[in-house]
Chains A and B, each alone.
Chain A
Amino acid sequence: MKPTLAVFKFASCDGCQLSILDAEDHLLAIAAAVDIAEFPEATTRSEPGPYTVGLVEGSVTTPHDALRIREIRDQCQILVTIGACATSGGIQALRNAADVAEFAAQVYPNPEYLDVLATSTAISDHVQVDYALYGCPVSVDQLVDFITALLAGRRPSVPDYSVCIECKRRGSTCVLVAPGMPCLGPVTRAGCGAICPAFGRGCYGCFGPSSRPNVASLAVAWEAAGATREDLAEALRAFTVGAPEFMEAARAL
């Protein structure tokens, strides 16, 4: 029997699910190798569990979702979080350091109909997660490689090192050193292939913190590049603001 694959959506923009569909060339081969039981962005089909692999997109922002993720965990042999929302709470975790009621009042005419939590949290804050794929959105190549690793029974390769490693492998010139442009690469986890520096832009930190990043020292390099510590704090308060390393570093700046 083929392994079953289920994709679940929590608070998110669906971009990571779209990344799965972006796998184009590999999609048919993957669909042939697994039985896709649930995938809201692609199909209305919804088969009951249990599932071999569950890919979870999005963060937990409502009491209902906090319960739903527990049920999903029970149904999945291997639970994998995909993307910045699922791994760190996403851009919506900006509310964690603010008042969600105030936000809601500005957006909705009748905020009393909302039933939301005060925070947006990573899936791993609620249940045990077996693997995490980072990024906003996730890397298609990494996702395909991850699925094929599970199918082959080998250990998936998810880097913990900085974007700089991929940037240098690619042969890009360091934008932080020449010409001196703010870049989050030295504290950001690799996985994107260092796209932005390859096009002369600083890294935006989409993949969240690399392992034990030294943000305090990066602030010195940003100042040398003409940016302020507040600029760095603002840059960290983005897609992965909910990652403790970035949240705390931004607060300390």
Chain B
Amino acid sequence: MVIPRSLSTRVLEVEAIGRLIAALQEDGRTVIAPTLRDGAITLDVIDSFADLPVGLTAEMAPGRYQLVPDPEGRLFGATVGPASAKRWQRPPEVVVWSGRKDGGMVARVPDRSESQLAYVGLRGCDLAARRVLDRAVGARPSDAFIVAVECTRPGSTCFCVSMGTGPGVSEGADVVITEIVEPAHVLVTRALTPRGATLLARLGGAPPKGAEEDAAWAQVAAAARAMSGGIDPDAAAAALRMPSADGWDDVAARCLACGNCTMVCPTCFCTTTVDHTTPDGLEATRVRLWDSCFSLGFTELHGKPVRASIGSRYRQWMSHKLSWWWDQFGSSGCVGCGRCIVWCPVGIDIRQEAAAAVERVGVHAK
């Protein structure tokens, strides 16, 4: 993995994140960053440095999430939480238009508000997901300011390396931070865009002395090596386009068809549309809501579900994500963040299900 080094690399003390947040707010941006919410470290709006989950991290396993102390006291100790940038990029509930009947109908189409946001702490997988999601829904990249963080301690459910999306970051962000604790607890920070360089210039900091930058590279590289397994994208893409519908009973017995995987997936984009009217019939509002291919109602065509069994719905989801997505949008729909694995209440692991599909049809990568 070759990542171009930036000329603007600076070493910042940990507290500089407070100034970074303040600088983004001075520019009129709302800052979204990892924060402790409802017993999980997840992305949400923060006010200041104090909202960061300092010294806290999370242990993740299929269907399990547990907060644990981070003895190293890092700011960005936890990898990815249940919420992804999708929550703002393609919000769960959006008024598409609304209107009043009297005096001619006036439709109000809401603005895309993400451009006034700044994300702090998105990971390589998150950045890849933003590109994949924009492409899938035909949206232009937003003007959101992005401060990415490279992962040095991936979770057991992470598999970005196999999907080619991390743990290092080389594009899709304005500023990239690598938080290291040895030889000192500092933030090795570089800009990828001119506005990122402008922001960094406002924060001060020292040029790297060499040791910090080397430590940052070494830790990201070690993180990549630590992530074994994952998904073989080519083999999975080939296996999942085989016409056979056999072999899905095992996962169907476990799958709740609850839709949690699709809700936490940073690229799943399916929605439903509902209308609301006032009792006097004068006002109407059309709302777009997150929906899921796992619900029976979602599969209804001409009034009947076309994917009645849970196995057929799981197959549809996984084969779209890992195979047909390539034909449709030119990439995999999976970025290897592992959210679907952690937040599946019964811990279904897409890595294992993909391997099982590959095994069934005997397709192996060259």
Contacts and interface: CB of A to CB of B under 8 A. Distances in A.
Interface residues of B, number: 52
Contacts of A159: 295, 297
Nearest to B279: A29
Given A160-B297, A173-B40, A221-B63, A151 B279 contact: yes
A196 to B, nearest CB: 13
A181 to B, nearest CB: 10
A221 B346 contact: yes
Contacts of A214: 253-257, 310
Interface string B86-98: 0100001100000
Interface string B66-94: 11000000000000001100010000110
Interface in A1-50: 26, 29-30, 32-33
Nearest to B260: A164
Contacts of A218: 256, 345-346
A106 interface: no
A168 B280 contact: no
B279 A174 contact: no
B221 to A, nearest CB: 30
A26 to B, nearest CB: 6
B139 to A, nearest CB: 20
Contact of A220 (B65, B254, B284): B254
B39 A212 contact: no
Nearest to B82: A173
A185 B258 contact: yes
B39 A179 contact: yes
A165 B272 CA distance: 12
Contacts of B291: 161, 165
A168 B264 contact: yes
A177 B258 CA distance: 13
Contact of A162 (B66, B256, B308): B256
A101 interface: no
A170 to B, nearest CB: 8
A171 interface: yes
Given A214-B255, A221-B345, A165 B263 contact: yes
Residue among B39, B42, B66, B294 with the highest chain A CB neighbour number at 10 A = B39
Interface stretch (A53-61, A87-95, A142-150, A239-247): A142-150
B256 A168 contact: no
Given A148-B277, A179-B66, A217 B254 contact: yes
A133 interface: no
Contacts of B284: 152
A200 interface: yes
A169 B277 CA distance: 22
A180 B64 CA distance: 7
Interface in A148-197: 148-149, 151-152, 154, 157, 159-162, 164-165, 168-174, 176-180, 183, 185-187
Interface string B102-122: 000000000000000000000
B281 interface: yes
B248 interface: no
**Residue among B64, B83, B258 with the highest chain A CB neighbour number at 10 A:** B258
Nearest to A183: B345
A224 interface: yes
A211 to B, nearest CB: 4
A166 to B, nearest CB: 9
Contacts of A157: 274-275
B363 interface: no
Q: 3 closest A-B pairs (Cβ-Cβ)?
A: A168-B263, A161-B295, A178-B65
Interface of B: 37-40, 42, 44, 63-67, 82-83, 87, 92-93, 253-260, 263-264, 274-281, 284, 289-292, 294-298, 308, 310, 342-347
9 contacts: A148-B277, A159-B295, A161-B292, A164-B345, A169-B92, A176-B345, A177-B342, A214-B255, A224-B347
Interface of A: 26, 29-30, 32-33, 144-145, 147-149, 151-152, 154, 157, 159-162, 164-165, 168-174, 176-180, 183, 185-187, 200, 210-214, 216-218, 220-221, 224
